[in-house]
Amino acid sequence: RTRRGRAMATISSDAFVNMMLHSCKHPHRSVNGVLLGSVSEDGGVEVSEAVPLFHGILGLAPMMEVALNQVEGYCASVNSAVVGYYCANERRADTELTHLARKVGERIHARVPSALLIVLEASPASTASSSLPLKAFSLSGSVWQQRDPSSVKVDDEAGARAALEACLTAAAQYELCDFDDHLDDGARVWIGQKPAQLSGRSS
Amino acid sequence: RPCSRGAMANEARHPQEFINASVALKVLKALRAGRVRRPDLVVAHGAPFLEGRHASSVGAAERYAIIEEVFVAALDRGEAELARRCLATLNARFPGSKRVRSLAAMADEAAGNFEAAMGKYDSIIEEDPANMHVHKRRVALLLSKGDTAGAVAALNDYLALNAGDPDAWLELARIYTAGAQYRRAAFCWEELLLLVPSNPVFLCKYAETLYTLGGPEVKTARKYFAKALALQPDNLRALYGLHAVRARRAGGKEGRRRSLVMRPRGAMAFFRAQCCQAVVGSAARTKGQRTDRDDAALCADLSEHAVARLRAAYKGNDFNARLLERMLEL
**pLDDT tens-digit profile of A45-90?**
999 999 999 999 998 999 999 999 999 999 999 999 999 999 999 9
Q: Is A169 touching B (CB cutoff 8 A)? A: yes
* Contact assessment for residue A6 and residue A149, using Cβ atoms and an 8 Å cutoff: no
What is the tens place of the pLDDT at every residue in A176-199?
999 999 999 999 999 999 998 888
**Over the stretch B45-87, which tens digit does the pLDDT of each residue have?**
999 999 877 888 888 899 999 999 999 999 999 999 999 999 9
Query: Mean of the pLDDT values across residues A95-118?
Result: 94
**Average pLDDT for B147-167:** 95
Instruction: Flag if B177 and A60 touch (Cβ within 8 Å).
Output: yes
The Cβ-side half-sphere exposure at B122, using a 13 Å CA radius, reads 7
What is the share, in percent, of chain A residues with pLDDT greater than 90?
A: 78
Q: Minimum mean pLDDT among A17-21, B172-176, B228-232, B251-255: which range?
A: B251-255
Range with lowest mean pLDDT among A14-28, A153-167, B9-23, B47-61: B9-23
pLDDT band at A109 (very low <50, low <70, confident <90, very high): very high
Query: From CA B323, how far away is CA B325, in angstroms rounded?
Result: 6
Query: How crowded is the C-beta side of B140, counted as CA atoms within 13 Å?
Result: 22
- Residues of chain A with C-beta less than 8 angstroms from the C-beta of B27: none
Cross-chain residue pair A186–B6, CB shorter than 8 Å: no
Candidates A16, A71, A89, A91, partner chain B, best to mutate (most B CBs within 10 A): A91
A12 touches chain B (CB under 8 A): no
pLDDT of residue B290: 62
**B-chain residues within 8 Å CB-CB of A58?**
177-178
Q: What local confidence, expressed as pLDDT, does residue B176 receive? A: 96
Segment holding A32, helix H or strand E: strand A31-39
Quick check: pTM over 0.90?
A: no
Closest partner CB to A169 (pick from B13, B205, B313): B13
Cα separation of B192 and B196, whole Å? 6
> Does B236 contact A186 at a Cβ distance shorter than 8 Å?
yes
**Would the CB atoms of A174 and B38 count as touching at under 8 Å?**
yes
Q: Report the SS3 class of residue A112.
A: coil
- Which residues in chain A touch residue B38, judged by CB atoms under 8 angstroms apart? 174
